[in-house]
Structure 1
Amino acid sequence: MTIPAHPAITRYEILETASEQVLEEGRGLTQEQLLEVLRLPDEALPAALQLAHEVRLRHCGEDVEVEGIISIKTGGCPEDCHFCSQSGLFDSPVRGVWLDIPELVKAAKETAATGATEFCIVAAVRGPDIKLMNQIKFAIDRINEAVEINIACSLGMLTQHQVDQLAAWGVHRYNHNLETARSYFPQVVTTHSYEERLETCAMVKAAGMELCCGALIGMGESLEQRAELAAQLAALEPHEVPLNFLNPRPGTPLENQGIMDGKDALRAIAAFRLAMPRTVLRYAGGRELTLGDLGTRDGLLGGINAVIVGNYLTTLGRPADADLNLLVELNMPIKEFQKSL
């Protein structure tokens, strides 16, 4: 997709407003304004992506943050997130598997070798028990002994004591996604509430860890609900927002949902950047299927400033070299490692 010159932005009133409000003043768009962006015609998409890219450069800088993720415990989760093949409630091919600590350390070293600054340990659980917390502590210590990389965790819903433990152990960032808008959440998850997710997010921020809180779009939500989600994430003020696109998994309630249109996905990327001008906006799961190679390039030129390299938890990603080579081709420098304090 060819990105037109900046003056083309003024052809669309919402983009002209966003140019002043977001690019110049640094104020994210409101929910109503975001809906206007999501409703832009295809012919306006290049201008929207260009503006989002300029917002990213001005308010975040040119660096792109690279992260790897790995699951210490896969499958067998007691929750019923309708998009997730790791739920033990669905007839999914994913079954419970635990990864041992040497494998985690090996994965962390391989992740650091790609130039990544962040390594996220994930577990498919409602929340961690004492056994899992002890394993996480041991893994953190062994990884820190072996390689210099910031460690993040995604372990479900936490108690205050668990939040305090993770912070004391030096966890740099904690991931707990909202996934979808408050109004659509009951259509996607019934075994826990939106408010429970918000409680964990609030505790993480209060403890001084960076909050990673993302979205999964293309689950059947309306454009209004997509705008609602972007505004709700902006109000939460997370450090990072991973943006996932539904990859319908066999055996889950959303297996027949269908793949999100690539142009709609790019409109969402632009909208999320215009909602959160200073947030790390990360390419996450489903982009390979939804956007392909050309769309992936367009998103990097449309507001994205971070990527997960390699595979995801239960689905294959692009080869790490493909993403890293693309960043070189686009003259996008990879963020250098700085150990969290």
Structure 2
Amino acid sequence: MTLPPTTQPPTTNQPPALGGLDENAGTAADILRVAREQVLERGQGLSAEQTLEVLRLDDDRISEALALAHEARIRWCGPEVEVEGIVSLKTGGCPEDCHFCSQSGKFDSPVRAVWLDIPSLVEAAKATRETGASEFCIVAAVRGPDERLMEQVRAGVAAIRAAVDINIACSLGMLTQEQVDALASMGVHRYNHNLETARSHFPQVVTTHSWQERWDTCEMVRAAGMELCCGAIIGVGETLEQRAELAGQLAELEPDEVPLNFLNPRPGTPFADLPVISPQEALRTIAAFRLALPRTILRYAGGREITLGDLAVDGMLGGINAVIVGNYLTTLGRPAEADLEMLVDLKMPIKSMQSTF
């Protein structure tokens, strides 16, 4: 849908006009028209400054933003939806202090350290494949893998590959170059390591390691030839400006996939009392990130159930093209069957194994 040009002049409390646009282009009413030409027609993602304009849209413009984001997704990514399952190989007892995470050993949370054995890992991969998923991610709550964990992963990847036709991803924290090379040689298809939040906000979210350490791991993963999954957790006290900053930093990193998590405040963590963001804010964020990252897999991840509820369908029609099915690491997700039924109802085909190569 092509939007009519605005007839309202910019007001003094609106963001400054962006370079190269006409005199009204700084208004919220115009950013979608600009995005239609820039993102939909040319495939060029919005800058951080332009993304901020989308994040500032009034509620009555959200449906237009979602519709445009959906068009961009179809144009640049196609109609398929990638389905993934995750399992925790090592749960709890993490030495880091990510303030949103109940797996930290530094907080008084109910999560305790547990290791999963290899047969259970294989059964989880089989169950994930039976949903139609093409991706299975092995996750560990650690700063980075020690030799014991690397051996467990090596054995688990080999056992899964022998038993199940599915792509294997890992999320094991920060890596050394040697560990990156080892995972690539095992045949790990994709590595997940989230930036979590904007660089400027990161010290308010994590103090035991730096944003730069996360960035360095992501760059090593890409250089080694593995696909990079690098995402965000929305609603951890960041400003809209910082949310737009993060979108720009992700665009610079050029990951293959960006999972969007929404904070589900966990008891015992420093962020236990942060409010859940509104559905409208979540939907604006989905549209903004799709328009900033038009060619990237944008995945529904943790927190969408508590944040969006039944409005999750609006996100699927607003730029999302991947989902995690089943439960997350320490919180319950929707039943896999419910997500698969949603995709059928929306006539969205599930991405096959063949199309992932």
- Above 0.5 in TM-score? yes
Cα distance in structure 1, aligned partners of 2:356 and 2:248: 28
| Residues 43-94 of structure 1: CA deviation (Å, up to 9, x unaligned) | 1000000000000000000000000000000000000000000000000000
Any conservation in 2 of the 1:213–1:242 contact (CA below 8 Å)? yes
Cα distance in structure 2, aligned partners of 1:184 and 1:333: 37
Cα distance in structure 2, aligned partners of 1:309 and 1:129: 29
TM-score for both structures, normalised by structure 1: 0.97
Aligned residue among 147, 158, 162 for 2:164:
147
Aligned residue among 99, 103, 106 for 1:89:
106
Give the letter for the 1:334 counterpart. I
Any conservation in 2 of the 1:9–1:51 contact (CA below 8 Å)? no
Any conservation in 1 of the 2:2–2:33 contact (CA below 8 Å)? no
| Residues 176-226 of structure 1: CA deviation (Å, up to 9, x unaligned) | 000000000000000000000011000000000000000000111100000
Any conservation in 1 of the 2:73–2:319 contact (CA below 8 Å)? yes
Structure 2 residue 324 is the aligned partner of structure 1 residue 308: yes
Which residue in 2 is equivalent to 1:3?
Answer: none
Q: How does 1:238-317 map to 2 (within 5 A)?
A: 238-293=255-310, 295-317=311-333
Q: How does 1:203-214 map to 2 (within 5 A)?
A: 203-214=220-231
Q: Which has the larger radius of gyration?
A: 2
Give the letter for the 1:166 counterpart. L
Deviation at 1:7, TM superposition (A): 3.0
Aligned residue among 116, 119, 124 for 2:136:
119
Cα distance in structure 1, aligned partners of 2:252 and 2:5: 27
Cα distance in structure 2, aligned partners of 1:247 and 1:134: 32
Secondary structure of 1:241's counterpart equals strand
Which residue in 2 is equivalent to 1:320?
Answer: 336
Any conservation in 2 of the 1:150–1:339 contact (CA below 8 Å)? no
Deviation at 1:124, TM superposition (A): 0.1
| Residues 130-169 of structure 1: CA deviation (Å, up to 9, x unaligned) | 0100110000010011110000000000000000000000
Any conservation in 1 of the 2:3–2:33 contact (CA below 8 Å)? no
Secondary structure of 2:127's counterpart equals helix
Gaps of 5+ in 1: 1-5
Deviation at 1:313, TM superposition (A): 0.2
Structure 2 residue 244 is the aligned partner of structure 1 residue 224: no
Cα distance in structure 2, aligned partners of 1:257 and 1:339: 40
Deviation at 1:258, TM superposition (A): 1.2
Secondary structure of 1:56's counterpart equals helix
Number of matched pairs:
335
Secondary structure of 1:73's counterpart equals strand
